[in-house]
Structure 1
Amino acid sequence: MMLLVNKQAIAKAFDRAAINYDNYASLQRFSGDALLELAPACSGRIVLDAGCGTGWYSRIWRNRGKYVIALDLSLEMLKQAKIKNSANYYVSGDIDYLPIANGTLDIVWSNLAVQWSSDLSTVLNRFNQALKPSGYMLFSTISDGSLKELNIAWSYLDQYNHVNQFLSRKEIFKICHMQNIICHSQVVIMHFPTVLSAMRSLKGIGATHVHKGRNIIVLTRNNLDKLGKYWPRDKYGFRLSYNLIYGVTDL
């Protein structure tokens, strides 16, 4: 499914989050650590971190002795990655138009980035083209049903979209099967003490751009109280659910 995606707006959202991103990126590290566990043994050296963010996993791959190319749409994210000496080389670029020559990479790594692409099939195909014959890709993404609590709570305040439309698990698995990729799925539920902290967790990682737009509503104390009244929660706090998909090349 092709999505109409405003890449400039996405980049600006991540630019704003870059400085404090690592303070909020617990889901990204959970997902990335789980993805690392699925990595096959590989003697290859050249790794592309596609959607590197601040370079957390670029540093992990570099510490494993790899030559790491860090790529991101957000210039501010790349700036943070450079400050932290995360990679060997840095590229400002869009995964939808991957600026990497064919057959040059041993590993393509992409942790929670491809959900911002216009077309998953095209992105994964481009990743495959950039790989050497013996190379492999690892990626994670989010499927539909994620952040359902946010939608539920906002539905009582307005009728606008507050969560992006994600591909279904079935659609993602089908695309991956066609690209020789094995998929795994996992549901992760995060908990927050307040609605405000839940909202800040999304803002902190730059996940605030909604493709189809939304009503810009001021988060007054009254509105926060209304959201808190309807936001699903349990004994651990206010919930945010994520349906994660992990994809690994079938070697």
Structure 2
Amino acid sequence: MTSVFEGVNKQAVAAAFSRAAKSYDVAAVLQREVGERLIAMAAHHPGQSVLDAGCGTGYFSRRWRNLGKQVTALDLAPGMLAFARQQQVADHYLLGDIENVPLPDASVDICFSSLVVQWCSSLPQVLAELYRVTRPGGVILFATLAQGTLHELAAAWQQVDGERHVNDFLPVAQISAACQHYRHELQPAWQTLHYPDVMTLMRSLKGIGATHLHQGRDSGLLSRQRLAALQAAYSCQQGQYPLSYHLVYGVIYRD
């Protein structure tokens, strides 16, 4: 099975997240809520070693460490990994790609990857790698974004200039198909955040590094004129501008 993201420019994604390193934790309300729910799915697992695959600033590396685990923080973005190291959130730090994890087979008990795999070229490849580095009896936890995410923003842009300006995310059925070779559980969920204006909404996306488009960056994305047109086109509900995320939580059991 192939992904819709075969043309992902990983260096550009890494650069976008590196730029966001210092502002990320302030902006990342959704990321914290999602990650906490994901941790809760295996917080009592007896395994001692955790791979935080796509650690970002290391917020959840620290959370796992506070639960008494030995943590390896892995990220593709040098800026994020440097920030995590500076915060001393983990026991080990690895610069690397979760589609080609620089660890030996069966080397960790828990793989944790929250809101990262949607930036990868191939979900089956990511899951195969995380499965490979996990010991038998261990678990792989992942949360990702599915088709329908940011649909309000896509609809508004479509009205402004006929383009979506929003990444395409995998349908739930395709995420499920990528898990079919493993014993697993999937939990889809929707979460909608509300903003007082479109500028704040767009800044929240920029703050979490999510402005990089798979098909290339749009240099005109935040001009004042275009923002005004976007706000005029955006569906407003009781003075608030909604932004929805279609989430999928996954647990894969390493047999």
**TM-score, length of structure 1 as denominator length:** 0.95
Instruction: Report if the CA contact (8 A) 2:182-2:253 is conserved.
Output: no
Unaligned runs of 5+ in 2: none
TM-fit CA distance, 1:178: 2.3
**SS of the residue aligned with 2:30?**
helix
Greater CA drift, 188-197 or 210-219: 210-219
**Does 2:69 align with 1:45?**
no
Map of 1:190 onto structure 2: 193
The AA in structure 1 aligned to 2:104 is A
TM-fit CA distance, 1:215: 4.4
Identity among equivalent pairs (%): 43
**Does 2:175 align with 1:167?**
no
**Does 2:151 align with 1:141?**
no
The AA in structure 1 aligned to 2:224 is R
Map of 1:77 onto structure 2: 80
Map of 1:110 onto structure 2: 113
Count matched residues: 251
Task: Tell me, in whole angstroms, the C-alpha distance in 2 between the residues paired with 1:240 and 1:215.
Answer: 20
Task: Tell me, in whole angstroms, the C-alpha distance in 1 between the residues paired with 2:218 and 2:73.
Answer: 35
Superposition RMSD on alpha carbons, in Å?
1.5
| Residue deviations 1:161-208 (CA, integer Å, cap 9, x gap) | 411111101111222232222100110000011100000000000001
**SS of the residue aligned with 1:155?**
helix
Task: Tell me, in whole angstroms, the C-alpha distance in 1 between the residues paired with 2:49 and 2:218.
Answer: 44
Matches within 5 A, 1:24-43: 24-39=27-42, 41-43=44-46
The AA in structure 1 aligned to 2:140 is M
Task: Tell me, in whole angstroms, the C-alpha distance in 1 between the residues paired with 2:220 and 2:252.
Answer: 43
Instruction: Report if the CA contact (8 A) 1:160-1:214 is conserved.
Output: no
Task: Tell me, in whole angstroms, the C-alpha distance in 2 between the residues paired with 1:161 and 1:8.
Answer: 23
TM-fit CA distance, 1:217: 1.8
Instruction: Report if the CA contact (8 A) 2:113-2:142 is conserved.
Output: yes
Distance 1:38 1:233, change over 3 A: farther
Unaligned runs of 5+ in 1: none
TM-fit CA distance, 1:157: 2.2
**TM-score, length of structure 2 as denominator length:** 0.94
| Residue deviations 1:65-113 (CA, integer Å, cap 9, x gap) | 1110000011111111112110000000011111111011100000000
**Does 2:215 align with 1:212?**
yes
Distance 1:97 1:250, change over 3 A: closer
TM-fit CA distance, 1:153: 1.1
Instruction: Report if the CA contact (8 A) 2:211-2:217 is conserved.
Output: no
User: 2:99 pairs with 96, 99, 118, which one?
Assistant: 96
Distance 1:219 1:131, change over 3 A: closer
